[in-house]
A and B are shown apart, each in its own frame.
Chain A
Amino acid sequence: MDVFLCISVFLVVCLVSVVQQGVWALLLWPSLFSSCLPLDCKEEQGSLSRCPSISQEKLLDRIIQHAELIYRVSEESCSLFEQMFIPFPLQFQRNQVGYACITKALPIPSSKSEIQQISDKWLLHSVLMLVQSWIEPLVYLQTSLDRYDAAPDMLLNKTKWVSEKLISLEQGVVVLIKKMLDEGMLTSNHSDQGLFQYDVQPEMLESVMRDYTLLSCFKKDAHKMETFLKLLKCRQTDKYNCV
């Protein structure tokens, strides 16, 4: 009989604590819903008629988020590639070997003072140029990596993801340009980009070095995109205190 009593007491104590926690869980329940609500149709930027249009600020925010994410993933891919395929001494000579970045020729500002001087329009156009010039090389990079024997799946997945996201980023920028600058814009002009030529399949070492250069250049350019877009955002909100 005393055993029963002990057990019942114990159960009561447990119940009390559980109820207390349960109350908390119940209170937090509604918050589950709020985080899952989808925002409006960003992916349908090309055809504005299909859904209610998104505001410019939100669009810019979204674009910046995209750019940040692209940069982060490209940084991870680059370091992963570096660890796996590049011998240590060559790791610090990213751009020295002779493979210049493909976007070198583009007229993109490269210092803060320069950037301070260019207009919003040019900022956007620079971003667009960058994005458009990287779409094809990323596809090439994907095929090149597939040829590797020991390329880890993570690397392949990341590069694939990046190339996909880049396309959607391009779409976003186009829409933004249309909104901000009221310009009709060519959506994509890939074929004009003569920056990248397909080579006959190079030998392995060369291929590795070329891919490494590609990845590190892309990482840099992604950072450029991100920075420009953030600057642009700052200019939207507070024109005079920004860069």
Chain B
Amino acid sequence: MKKVVEVILLLLLSTVHAKGKRFSPPGKPALTRCRSPEKETFTCWWEPGSDGGLPTTHALYYRKESSETVYECPDYHTAGENSCFFNKNDTSIWVNYNITVVATNALGSAFSDPVDIDVVYIVKPNPPEKLAVTVMEDKGWPFLRVSWEPPHKADTRSGWITLIYELRVKLEEEDDWEVHLAGQQKMFNVFSLRSGGTYLVEVRCKPDHGFWSEWSSTSYIKVPDYFHREKSVWILITIFAAFIFLILTWLLQINSQSLKDCILPPVPGPKIKGFDEHLLKNGKSDDVFIALGVSDFPPTTSSNYEDLLVEYLEVYVPEEQELMLEESKDLHDGCLKSESSTSDSDSGRGSCDSHTLLMDKCGEAKEEEEEERETVRESSRMRTEAQRCQKGWEEHGDMVSPDMSSGRVKTWPSVFSPLPQYSSSPQDQQRSLEMAKQHSLSTSSYLIQPGHSTREVLGPSYWDRQPHLLHPQTQVRQAHSDVNISNIASKQSSPGSLSPALRGTEYVEVQRVNEEDMVLLQPVVEGCGSMEGCPQIPQGEDYSKVKGVDSGNVLLLQREVMEGAVCREMNGGTGNCYMSSSVRSSLKLSACSHTAMPVQEEAALAVTGYVDTATMSRLPIC
């Protein structure tokens, strides 16, 4: 019988082969998985390989751990296609099974890879059953109580299998599940619910070693609205907020004025003297300006001496003095270079030390640099003009102070812008006086590089400007007479002479205003104090002491003859040279008068504030 079958098969094969189809032994099957739902039975599934075109049968063989006996699968049908079901009697726990699947067809057979399993480790229970969800209340706040039963096949009662549970909750409209681990208990509470929402709940379980079951069927629950509870909270909050608001309003009202001042500070009104807002409002602009004009400007009264004494009185000093002064100035570079000098141009520095006073002026000059540049240029121009007028001045530029010129970096400002130095010749002196006039324009002191550098700075275009144009300005700025001594002017001193014997001009600075309304001037020659071996200050009649200003806008000067004044310099800029004056003579200077004065004997105060003790021929014209 068997042989007949085989013959038929062979015939079939040959016929089929003749048709072009090939048969082959079956492909290798593979065990896909084995599962036990309750640790008492288990099932294994396999995947067949290619069948080779012929009908193929599969068989499962297993061997238990400690014996060599091979058994075949007891049940191929209960669990479905390609499966083997081991019932209770055939299942041993804690014992390794060695399972193999064999695929057989007419041409051959194929063995799968053997698989070792222990039933204990392949348990995947069924999902929990009888999931029940209810809404309960806890002091007005609702929560969900979820309860379930273990899968009916799993024997948890006897402890044969121990299950742990997990549930997940989500709102109907959301996407994310909220997962809670419930341990071994079969009940769980879910809090923090949204009022009025619909929730979905699912549960699953797992043995203490094994696989998670599938999620149970979903249970729906709707949470009732508990708005009333929230409402009371809102009411409380509203009342509270209203209360606070009332209090704040009341406080604001009480402090309204001070608050207003704090937030919106009052705008300062105009401080123009004589400016009358009402006039402006009335629309009479003429009256306004007339009212303005009533003010005492230019100042004619002598009541405010301090105003007049804001600036320095500049005095020419001989060249070497200037040299030393300028050198000392170098050492005060910190002041010169500091842009942020805090000097106040309006303060009368009656009690400053000589050097520091001038230094501060230097800083001041910096501030007003912009506006003064024009005037400086003009004055420098004039200086150069004067230079040209002078003879033999070319070499002066070099003479002045090569060191200084090289040492100085800045062009502005210069504390020392000496007035043009006067040579002995009256002619020169006259010219330099005019020069002095002219470059007293500047209200602040500028630092002008000694001689040549400034010349370079200024273009030739300026040179054509007429000096006389500058007079009104000089008049205007008389009150702010700064020490404005041009270096160029200084170079115009007697050529090549750096000897201390020169008495042409020297620096003077306002030391203070004493109680008799006298401006005490000090020679600035003690700038030499910054260096060692400062030469003795020249003695002579070079210093002017301002006696006072009378009502006719006349500056009263006292000329003093210096004797035996020795300049000692302590440290940079702080040395004070006190000179003893022996001879005093009064000078009457008039800002706007044409007073002819002896050139050599008297000090003249230029309108611009320069005091030339050595020579003075003519005062500037008002």
- Please report A residues at the B interface, Cβ cutoff 8 Å: 1-2, 5-6, 9, 13, 64, 68, 71-72, 75, 92-96, 100, 104, 110-113, 220-221, 223-224, 226-227, 229-231, 233-235, 238, 241-243
**Interchain CB contact under 8 A, B66 and A243:** no
Tell me the minimal C-beta distance from B150 to chain A in angstroms.
Answer: 14
**Interchain CB contact under 8 A, B93 and A110:** yes
Give the chain A neighbours of B91 by CB distance below 8 A. 111-112
| Chain B residue with Cβ nearest A12 | B240
Give B77-96 as 1s and 0s: 1 = Cβ < 8 Å from A's Cβ atoms: 00000000000110111111
**Interchain CB contact under 8 A, B155 and A243:** yes
Contact among A13, A96, A112, A230 with B88 in the assembled complex (CB-CB below 8 Å): A112
Tell me the minimal C-beta distance from B149 to chain A in angstroms.
Answer: 15
- Docked complex Cα distance between A242 and B118 (Å): 24
- Docked complex Cα distance between A220 and B96 (Å): 11
| Chain B residue with Cβ nearest A103 | B94
Give the chain B neighbours of A231 by CB distance below 8 A. 158-160
Give B98-141 as 1s and 0s: 1 = Cβ < 8 Å from A's Cβ atoms: 10000000000000000010101000000000000000000000
| Chain A residue with Cβ nearest B64 | A110
Give the chain B neighbours of A113 by CB distance below 8 A. 88-89
Tell me the minimal C-beta distance from B185 to chain A in angstroms.
Answer: 15
Give the chain A neighbours of B98 by CB distance below 8 A. 96
Give the chain A neighbours of B290 by CB distance below 8 A. none
Contact among B92, B159, B252 with A230 in the assembled complex (CB-CB below 8 Å): B159
- Docked complex Cα distance between A233 and B162 (Å): 14
- Docked complex Cα distance between A110 and B118 (Å): 11
- Docked complex Cα distance between A96 and B208 (Å): 24
**Interchain CB contact under 8 A, A95 and B96:** yes
Q: Is B157 close to A, CB under 8 A?
A: yes
**Interchain CB contact under 8 A, A243 and B251:** no
Contact among B116, B208, B252 with A95 in the assembled complex (CB-CB below 8 Å): B116
Q: List 20 A-B contacts (CB under 8 A).
A: A1-B251, A2-B247, A5-B247, A9-B244, A71-B208, A75-B209, A95-B116, A110-B93, A111-B88, A111-B89, A111-B91, A112-B93, A113-B88, A223-B94, A226-B159, A227-B160, A230-B162, A234-B159, A243-B155, A243-B160
Q: Is B434 close to A, CB under 8 A?
A: no
| Chain A residue with Cβ nearest B259 | A2
Give the chain A neighbours of B339 by CB distance below 8 A. none
- Docked complex Cα distance between A216 and B77 (Å): 34
Q: Is B248 close to A, CB under 8 A?
A: yes
A2-B251, A110-B94 known; A100+B66 contact, CB < 8 A:
yes
Give the chain A neighbours of B364 by CB distance below 8 A. none
Give the chain B neighbours of A92 by CB distance below 8 A. 116
- Docked complex Cα distance between A72 and B244 (Å): 60
Contact among A5, A68, A100, A243 with B158 in the assembled complex (CB-CB below 8 Å): A243
**Interchain CB contact under 8 A, B92 and A227:** no
- Docked complex Cα distance between A104 and B118 (Å): 15
Q: Is B65 close to A, CB under 8 A?
A: yes
| Chain A residue with Cβ nearest B155 | A243
Beta-carbon contacts under 8 Å, B140-191 to A: 155, 157-160, 162
Tell me the minimal C-beta distance from B102 to chain A in angstroms.
Answer: 20
Give the chain B neighbours of A227 by CB distance below 8 A. 159-160
Contact among A68, A104, A226, A241 with B157 in the assembled complex (CB-CB below 8 Å): A241
| Chain B residue with Cβ nearest A233 | B159
Best-surrounded residue of B91, B93, B98, B155 (most CB of chain A within 10 A): B93
| Chain A residue with Cβ nearest B90 | A111
- Docked complex Cα distance between A238 and B255 (Å): 83
A2-B251, A110-B94 known; A96+B116 contact, CB < 8 A:
yes
- Docked complex Cα distance between A242 and B93 (Å): 18
**Interchain CB contact under 8 A, A111 and B93:** yes
Q: Is B369 close to A, CB under 8 A?
A: no
Contact among A71, A96, A229, A243 with B96 in the assembled complex (CB-CB below 8 Å): A96
Q: Is B506 close to A, CB under 8 A?
A: no
5 interchain residue pairs of minimum CB distance: A230-B159, A234-B158, A2-B251, A242-B158, A111-B92
Give the chain A neighbours of B39 by CB distance below 8 A. 112
Give the chain B neighbours of A234 by CB distance below 8 A. 157-159
Give the chain A neighbours of B96 by CB distance below 8 A. 94-96
Q: Is B314 close to A, CB under 8 A?
A: no
Tell me the minimal C-beta distance from A57 to chain B in angstroms.
Answer: 14
Give the chain B neighbours of A235 by CB distance below 8 A. 158
Tell me the minimal C-beta distance from A209 to chain B in angstroms.
Answer: 15
- Docked complex Cα distance between A6 and B94 (Å): 72
- Docked complex Cα distance between A56 and B585 (Å): 133
- Docked complex Cα distance between A235 and B158 (Å): 8
Tell me the minimal C-beta distance from A52 to chain B in angstroms.
Answer: 28
- Docked complex Cα distance between A76 and B159 (Å): 21
Q: Is B509 close to A, CB under 8 A?
A: no
- Docked complex Cα distance between A231 and B96 (Å): 22
A2-B255, A75-B209, A112-B88 known; A224+B94 contact, CB < 8 A:
yes
Tell me the minimal C-beta distance from A21 to chain B in angstroms.
Answer: 15
Give the chain A neighbours of B89 by CB distance below 8 A. 111, 113
| Chain A residue with Cβ nearest B248 | A2
- Docked complex Cα distance between A118 and B95 (Å): 18
Q: Is B202 close to A, CB under 8 A?
A: no
| Chain A residue with Cβ nearest B120 | A223
| Chain B residue with Cβ nearest A232 | B159
Contact among A5, A112, A242 with B251 in the assembled complex (CB-CB below 8 Å): A5
Q: Is B360 close to A, CB under 8 A?
A: no
- Docked complex Cα distance between A234 and B159 (Å): 7
**Interchain CB contact under 8 A, A95 and B65:** yes
Tell me the minimal C-beta distance from A110 to chain B in angstroms.
Answer: 5
| Chain B residue with Cβ nearest A104 | B66
Best-surrounded residue of B65, B94, B116, B158 (most CB of chain A within 10 A): B158
Tell me the minimal C-beta distance from B458 to chain A in angstroms.
Answer: 63
- Docked complex Cα distance between A30 and B491 (Å): 103
| Chain A residue with Cβ nearest B91 | A111
**Interchain CB contact under 8 A, B92 and A110:** yes
Give the chain B neighbours of A241 by CB distance below 8 A. 157
Tell me the minimal C-beta distance from B236 to chain A in angstroms.
Answer: 11
Tell me the minimal C-beta distance from B162 to chain A in angstroms.
Answer: 8
Give B269-294 as 1s and 0s: 1 = Cβ < 8 Å from A's Cβ atoms: 00000000000000000000000000
**Interchain CB contact under 8 A, A110 and B95:** yes
Give the chain B neighbours of A93 by CB distance below 8 A. 116
Give B231-258 as 1s and 0s: 1 = Cβ < 8 Å from A's Cβ atoms: 0000000001000100110011001000
- Docked complex Cα distance between A233 and B255 (Å): 81
Give the chain B neighbours of A5 by CB distance below 8 A. 247, 251
Tell me the minimal C-beta distance from A233 to chain B in angstroms.
Answer: 6
- Docked complex Cα distance between A153 and B252 (Å): 69
Given A111-B89, A224-B94, list of 6 further CB < 8 A pairs? A2-B247, A92-B116, A96-B98, A111-B88, A111-B92, A112-B93
| Chain A residue with Cβ nearest B41 | A112
Q: Is B40 close to A, CB under 8 A?
A: yes
- Docked complex Cα distance between A221 and B159 (Å): 16
- Docked complex Cα distance between A51 and B427 (Å): 135
A112-B40, A113-B88 known; A230+B158 contact, CB < 8 A:
yes
Tell me the minimal C-beta distance from A227 to chain B in angstroms.
Answer: 6
| Chain A residue with Cβ nearest B115 | A92
Give the chain B neighbours of A100 by CB distance below 8 A. 65-66
